[in-house]
Structure 1
């Protein structure tokens, strides 16, 4: 049973990947109309793949079809639909997650069940399963790398422990790839962590960081994240781990000061003991120091940052509107 990721330091060079892009596939994508998923769908279609996207609503289905994808109605609780989607595809890209912060246990159970279902269908087929995971919580106070193993496993772990689960299938005929995304996948329209920090600043009338503000967050622009997904599909080998982090670590003080400037608000420090009262639950994330390297990912895929940096996005007004 494989519990460690593929060593990607000696993997195929970018030139080989370019040649392989001629082999197009039918790709089943969950989360296809989401923040990262919609960018990934555009890149997959541009590479000539046929994309079947999971859609929870008529509006999501229509948006996918306008992009040139095929919509398949369903959600993460529709296990029969997920099984059928995987059965009919050459590859699966799993980007969906309920992200129900009011009931994380239920979200984790749904994620576990969905991934178990698709892995069961793909087992023994040598088809790829690309799975969204995260860099938050991977390591604390040091630079994490693709060689780091996730500390989370089991059904009750964050995201249902699905990264560890998927990597176990590397020896069971599934080309599993873990896509670890930075905690902020930024850009205009983002509703993630940085948008929540901006909302707190508007509510409190001050843009704050925690303590000395030296905690670092890796970041990646949405367009670069979408490109990485498409490139990872071509490079898929069993047990591969990739990091979607264009910037290793932007200090939380720099983030808060940039938000303050963009929002026309003062910026200041909040004591760690007061972070919960000031930020709410998001304070537990904003105070974490979690820089991450993507050096091995860049070497394998020839991937690099082409979109704006996080601070450029903030300065450009991506988080200025409520």
Structure 2
């Protein structure tokens, strides 16, 4: 297959590009800058210049490819309504471009979209919070468009802690914040988050493209639920800093958005995903990976 990837130069996208190419697929990667284009080229992929708000570029990439991985997202927590609106516009544009083709279009979502308080499965209802963080609307959109426009739409929900060398996501942010604040802060002693190595996530994406069902929802979670308390205590111990559980209000003064996110109890199963796609995560777990790569 020739696969068009948005976010192809990103942490997960670059791993997915290499995984696909190593299994005989071709990759066309969206790149908005020279640096991103260089990353895409070094992965062995072809470059399409453009960005997530360049709808004509997105349509071109979708039309010229056999499959689409939509992994790009604007990670600016100060303006989430804009970011999620851009995401939906991108999905609409690419869906229009492949209408009637039966092509696979996979969008990225997150396990934190799923209702909290119990182990989330692929069949669990998402939490439709009316607040500014409304990325869940993209899930509803892709499933509706899949039926309406006759293509093979799917959702892959990633763990909030997709980890590996070069990570700039939640786990690395927690390390950096602890260094800045002189304390490793967390806001719940019981909140659990799933984890997954980026290379395992890349394999799942390839398998979903090759085997996934239209309307399928898949979970990229290798570890079902890691106590955030344990993660922050590991950070504190490694940095020789105190790890402290504080109120959301106190934590928000230095952690901002993350103070609220850390209260979410989000254990997430991938049992159905593993059975349906034959996915078997094999890379190291979050804490082992952090000790190896996050404190240089």
* 2-structure distance, mates of 1:127, 1:66: 27
Which of 191, 197, 200 is residue 215 of structure 1 equivalent to? 191
**Other-structure match for 1:90:** 66
Residue-by-residue CA offset, 1:267-302 (whole Å, 9 max, x unaligned): 222234423234222111112101100000011122
Which of 94, 101, 107 is residue 131 of structure 1 equivalent to? 107
Which one is further off, 306-315 or 174-183?
306-315
Residue-by-residue CA offset, 1:43-99 (whole Å, 9 max, x unaligned): 010110110000111121122112211000000111111111111111111000012
Q: Does 1:307 align with 2:283?
A: yes
* Within-5 A mapping of 1:161-200: 161-171=137-147, 172-200=149-177
* Within-5 A mapping of 1:260-271: 260-271=236-247
Q: Does 1:110 align with 2:105?
A: no
**Other-structure match for 1:319:** 294
Q: Does 1:252 align with 2:231?
A: no
Is the CA contact 2:113–2:136 (under 8 Å) kept in the aligned structure 1?
no
**C-alpha spacing 1:308/1:74, structure 2 compared with 1 (3 Å):** same
**What's the TM-score, normalizing by structure 2?**
0.94
Q: Does 1:47 align with 2:34?
A: no
Which of 113, 134, 140 is residue 116 of structure 2 equivalent to? 140
Q: CA RMSD in A?
A: 1.8
* Within-5 A mapping of 1:218-229: 218-229=194-205
Is the CA contact 1:54–1:73 (under 8 Å) kept in the aligned structure 2?
yes
Is the CA contact 1:90–1:127 (under 8 Å) kept in the aligned structure 2?
yes
Tell me, which stretches of 5 or more residues in structure 2 are unaligned? none
* 1-structure distance, mates of 2:256, 2:42: 39
Tell me, which stretches of 5 or more residues in structure 1 are unaligned? 1-24
The Cα of 1:241 is off from its aligned counterpart by 0.3
Question: Aligned residue pairs: how many?
Answer: 295
* 1-structure distance, mates of 2:97, 2:141: 14
* 1-structure distance, mates of 2:77, 2:180: 20
Which one is further off, 35-44 or 305-314?
305-314
Structure number with greater CO (CA < 8 Å, separation at least 6) is: 1
Which of 158, 174, 178 is residue 134 of structure 2 equivalent to? 158
* 2-structure distance, mates of 1:200, 1:126: 45
* 2-structure distance, mates of 1:128, 1:245: 21
* 2-structure distance, mates of 1:87, 1:99: 26
* 2-structure distance, mates of 1:39, 1:154: 33
* 1-structure distance, mates of 2:113, 2:86: 21
**What's the TM-score, normalizing by structure 1?**
0.87
